Structure 1
Amino acid sequence: MSKVLDQFSEKHGEIIEVQIVNVREYPDVARLYQVRYVPTLVFLDEGGKMLDKRVGYMPLDALEKHWAGLGYDLSGEGK
């Protein structure tokens, strides 16, 4: 999953910030977002509010479509 997140960040990093958190090193973050399985993707808005959470692998195109489904324009022309 980290390879996909790296690709996503390279492509859309100016629009959406990608953070990879090791839940073993930061168990408080895992508790905050109720992460029980790895990988878990947590989608946050600009204010830090959780929009959605998905468990499991997502290919790049599915990740892009998911953000679009949450109302984010990945073309760089605004939300």
Structure 2
Amino acid sequence: MSHDAPAAVTVAPSPNFLNAAEVATRLRVSRSTVYNLIASGRLAALRNGTGKIRPRGVRVAESTVDEYLANSRITPTEEAA
């Protein structure tokens, strides 16, 4: 009887999600601005449940916030224009 080791299983890490308040803190803006960025399509988000009385909020992947910040950087020549 052979006792082979089980094959290694590669599991992709799940992304960390932030709520609107955490995104606002990271971007140093208000929660209203976060919701406006989501509504305009500039920041991708997932709605967390539907809720009959009120939605349970939104979640934004941490990598999405990092990408938004990276794409928002301007160079000194762009700032002067």
Q: Does TM-score exceed 0.5, indicating one fold?
A: no
Which structure has greater strand proportion? 1
Which structure has greater helix proportion? 2
What TM-score, normalized to structure 1?
Answer: 0.32
